[in-house]
Structures are given as C-alpha cells and as structure tokens.
C-alpha cells in the first residue's frame, strides 16, 4: 500500500479487502472492549476547508480510540486560510504529527499535500473523490450481503465525488456498476476511462435511473447540490427531477435491495422520506462504519510508515 490514501484508484483489490478486514477486526475489538494493538501517543492533523459532521467526529474519535490524538485545523484558525502554501503546511505538520487528514475542494491540493508531506496523508473528501466514505460503504454492504463480488450496485444522481469513488471501488471489488446522471452531470472523464478500460461488462452509464436501478442489490444516492454548488440549487432541482430514490425506483430493484447515502440527506429531493426511513438502519450503519474504516486506514498507513 502506498504512503497515502488520496484516491481509490491507487489501491488494488487486495489492498481494499485488507482494509475492510482490518476495519471488521477493529470494529469487533471496539464493541468487545479489546485494546487495539496500535502504538500509543500518535497524532493526526485534520485540515478542514469544508464543513463536516461525520468526517470530523469519526476521525477524531477514531484517533482517540486508537490511543492517539487528533488536532482540528480550520481555515479560520490556521495559516492555511491566510494563504500559506500547502507544500509548506505539509512540511511543518510532518514535523509535528504522524498523519495528516484533509477535507477540501481541489484534489490537486490533496495530491500536493501528499507529495510534500513525509507522513501519511488521507483524503477526507475532495471535489473529485471521497475514498474513506466509499470504503465504509463497501464495508457495510459486505456486512449485510456477505460478499461484494457479483453484486449490482447503482448510483443515481449527481456524478460528483461520490459517484467517482463508487465507480472505482465497485469495479475494483468485482461488482457490476450502473450509473444514471442527467446530461451534463456525468462522473469525471478519468473515472469513466478507468471503468471502460477495466471491464466494460461491469460498468454501464446512462441518463435513465430506472435502467440503473433494475435488479440492483444496492442503490446509492447523494445530495443534488454539494458544498460549493449551493448557488445552483434551484437549477439543479429542475435538472434532477425524476432522479429521486422513491418507491417507483425501488420497485424495479431486487426485493432485498439496500440503500446507501453518505449523508446529510435532503429528504424529498434525492430520496423520499419514506424510502430513507425504510432503510435508515443500513444508512446509519454505513455512517458508523466511517469510524471503523478510518481507524483501519490510519492504523495501516501509520504502521507502514513506521516500518518504512
């Protein structure tokens, strides 16, 4: 496994399954009061250019449960927000901390942070990718379905960071991936090229949500207006009409189809309130699993760096 986790494109199928297995182990240990076998006193800097609930709490609590400490750095109370170059921030934080997590807008910023840092860097979210979220999704699906390979997963909605990471994670884990997005809101071309070059039979993209959802084992969705798109909200409501996950969509999926939503949910927009509540248990299990998978990522990257 590489020094950093900036995107799922960098991980092999074996490495993804190793992280899922470790997350399962850490979850079991946490539930049963078993001490994690992790070096004490490690620190993680958390850089937040975007607001957060789940990312901040899960990383901060996760680091505490591992026996370490996490430091919250926002644009308001750090020099990052005053224009300090990310490469200088990387070199300073590398001398204080054992790991850096960043939640920001541009993927380029994540990659540059990783290039200049001598400690592991974790992408907590960028406009391009959301790797930790999709690892938590894969963990949850495997818990409920028993395995990943051969399942059909469908993503319906905005082809943004979640769609990009779901395509990559699903294909790498041997799943059939079907995407439905309105014209002009498709996933990134780099991700589409990866999907097409991997195995065309495992990937399908259209603007038809019913085609994507047909016989699906898992359906994903996300908000139609992510952070940074708020001013487009009214136009997006019009463009995404018909892409709501509701009873009609669920009727064409498999009877035991589950729903995954990275949260927060705008009920009545991308998902109906009824479908959300019908699948709340698996959605909030998915949210909990952010904690366990991120602990696995921290565990693996810091231990690997110590042994390098």
Helix (H) or strand (E) holding 289: helix 280-307
**Structure-token pair, residue 300:** 């693996």
Percent composition of the chain: helix, strand, coil (DSSP 3-state, to 5): 50, 15, 35
Give the CA radius of gyration of the chain. 19
Annotated active-site positions, please? 103, 130, 133, 222, 262, 290
Distance CA 278, CA 167 (A): 25
Contact 243, 209 (CB under 8 A): yes
Rounded CA-CA distance 250/214 in Å is 9
Q: Which two tokens stand for residue 171?
A: 């294909």
Decide: helix, strand or coil at residue 257.
Answer: coil
130 C-beta neighbours (distance < 10 Å), count:
29
Tell me the C-alpha distance between 123 and 3, whole Å.
12
Cα–Cα distance list, 250 to 59, 146, 182, 273 (Å) = 33, 21, 19, 13
Tokens of 285: 């299990």
């Amino acid at each position: 496994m590489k020094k950093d986790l900036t995107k799922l494109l960098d991980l092999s199928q074996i490495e993804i399954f190793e992280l899922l297995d470790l997350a399962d182990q850490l979850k079991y240990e946490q539930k049963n009061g078993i001490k994690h076998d992790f070096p004490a006193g490690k620190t993680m800097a958390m850089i937040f250019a975007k607001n957060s609930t789940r990312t901040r709490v899960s990383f901060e609590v996760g680091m505490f449960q591992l026996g370490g400490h996490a430091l919250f750095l926002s644009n308001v109370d750090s020099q990052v927000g005053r224009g300090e170059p990310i490469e200088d921030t990387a070199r300073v934080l590398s001398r204080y901390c054992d790991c850096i997590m960043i939640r920001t807008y541009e993927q380029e910023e994540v990659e540059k942070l990783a290039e200049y840092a001598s400690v592991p860097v974790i992408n907590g979210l960028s406009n391009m990718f959301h790797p930790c979220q999709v690892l938590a999704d894969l963990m949850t699906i495997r818990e409920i379905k028993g395995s990943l390979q051969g399942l059909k997963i469908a993503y319906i909605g905005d082809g943004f960071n979640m769609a990009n990471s779901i395509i990559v994670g699903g294909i790498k884990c041997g799943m059939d991936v079907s995407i439905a997005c309105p014209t002009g809101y498709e996933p990134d071309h780099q991700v589409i090229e990866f999907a097409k070059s991997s195995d065309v039979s495992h990937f399908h993209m259209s603007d038809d949500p019913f085609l994507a959802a047909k016989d699906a084992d898992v359906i994903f969705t996300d908000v139609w207006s992510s952070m940074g798109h708020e001013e487009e909200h009214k136009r997006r409501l019009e463009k995404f009409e018909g892409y709501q996950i509701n009873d009609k969509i669920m009727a064409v999926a498999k009877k035991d189809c589950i729903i995954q939503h990275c949260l927060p949910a705008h009920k009545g927009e991308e998902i109906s309130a009824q479908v959300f509540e019908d699948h709340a248990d698996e959605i909030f299990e998915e949210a909990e699993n952010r904690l366990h998978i991120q602990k696995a990522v921290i565990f693996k990257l810091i231990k690997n760096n110590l042994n390098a």
